[in-house]
Structure 1
Amino acid sequence: MQARRPIAARIDAPAMSPDQSYHLNPLAVEETARFFSIPRAHALECLAARFRSHAYSPHTHESFVVGTIVAGCETFTIGGCRHYARPGDLVLIDPGVVHDGEPAGDGFAYRISYPSAELLLEAAADASERPPVGQPHFAGPIVADAELANMLAAVHRFAEAGGDALELDERLLGFFVRLLARHGSTANPILAASERPPPREGGPVARAIDYLDARYSETVNLATLSDVAGIPRTRLIRAMRRETGLTPHAWLTDRRIRAARRMLVDGGSPAEVAVACGFYDQSHLNRAFKARIGVSPGIFRLAMRAKPKSVTFVQAEARQVA
């Protein structure tokens, strides 16, 4: 019999601050698991794991289970019925539902979140702009929705890596609103609200922009920005996109890049500029800067501080060390 080839995988990202993360032990040699939480999102708990042999005992959760398989196949039983979840599927389990879980075949990797009813009700109320009727509910436990499965996996990875707070707020809200609109019991009012053309919101957008421009170096959250603007979060995102062409986090990033340009011209190092402009690390500054300016901050700084006749030479040399 041919030996199984070990799965080479590490779920090993830097811990979020002020969020918490924990490694789960013990696991088999070829298995990895990482648990982390997002306190400002109603203490949303998340798990990223790869299992070859680990089997869950029958259990329940006080929260919902919303997850996706990113590789392999997981099988679990609910109410005597055996289910199989694969890539492109969403796993949706309501609170209090007894279920187990184990690998099917050679194993699986998945990304799971455990949203509370409060988080989902808040998202539904924000998107529909009306109080939700009753508790949210999913028909689940498995729905085939590759678009939302990919969206969940992406925002899950972004949260695990400690991504920008405002961008994470937008992406989490966007995912849960779409999830409820497509597969939740609160779908009708959310869909009705999303189909209405966004009204002109010059005043709220101007207030949001003023706030972002004044606090570009700080951590900004979507709930506070919504309060400043005076309109719900979902409507604010739509309104800013309509009025400016950018979402709130995109506007904030653009504002930070404008400030970074000035600081680099004045001689600031990329590492210093990243901190001063509110980027969560230098690599974040590098990606955002190059996406908008076309070169890395290091190349830009050297070119702007070089004598005009040597700009081309400095850029060519800098490319090797940027």
Structure 2
Amino acid sequence: MARSAAGNRMMPLTDPSASGFRLPRRGLLAAAAAATLPKAQAFAQDAWPSRPIRFVNPGPAGGAGDVLARLLAERLSIRLGQPVVVEDRPGAGTNIGMTNVARSVPDGYTVGVGSIASNAVNKWLYKNLPFDPEKDFAPVSMMALVPNLMVVPPSLPVRTVREFVEYAKKHRGQINFGSVGAGSSQHLVGAQFALTTGIEMSHVPYTSSGQLNTDMLEGRVQVLFQSISAVAEMAKSGRMRPLAVTGSERQPAFPEVPTLQEAGVDVTATGWFGMVTPAGVPEPILERLNKEVVASLNEPELRARIIELGSVPKPSTREEFAQHMARETARWRDVVKATGATAE
């Protein structure tokens, strides 16, 4: 009951003349809806992604991982409606960048470029790896397979793999091969090549793909097993001489260049890159990332660009990527043991 403004007569709360108390049921429902509106708006504002995403490349600027990350980031920025910013953090054979990824808040705003080094080989090269490749990351999708190109400077008097092997045997102790870091596909295929052919080569790790290429052109490094995207233009222009492809098949970018196996050396090695996040990112975010990465890599223009650069687009499910990393981890354990490669 309530008192009227005109007197002391008591009126029921449902009396239309009782101002402020009309239709209490509807009023309560409206009040409840109003109370929850700010929370609903906040939830919508916080829906992922609501701010830029950091895409950490643990390799050198200009390297295959950097190139692939930037191509993919451009498409993801459009699909996700937020900037995807590539951040190069090279060093220690990818360990610096990947440690940063592993220790980032698992909220979907930091992703990383996983590779043959960080997620397969480094486990066997480093005694005190600052992260666990299997436990500290969540797979999103493969990005691409990256066969390497065996190249030498034009000043080196060799035109075939056989001639290079003969030259190296005559100049024992004078052959250096460079890579973008211990544990990289360039490092491991070079070590395999030396072991298989019986030659001596000294490994020189770099943190800059550009400096690595410059040093070979200037004769301080005699051979590279470099990612095709990093040397394609120089190889096509004659500034570097391609001798072989390290993968199992010839590449469209260099159809005249034989594989190592075709050249008589039983070595096959293909680098690869994929997207990972810190472990613990919510499943809906991982699923959305996978969906957009796969869709981006299936776009005809992006696929054509990646192939043009000498790589093979390889979108995958999260489970397929996890299985690939497990197989590669087991495979490279045996290679590292056989070659005696180490990073320490």
- TM-score bin (small chain): under 0.3
Relative CO higher for 1 or 2, CA cutoff 8 Å, sep ≥ 6? 2
TM-score (norm 1): 0.24
**Rg larger in 1 or in 2?**
2
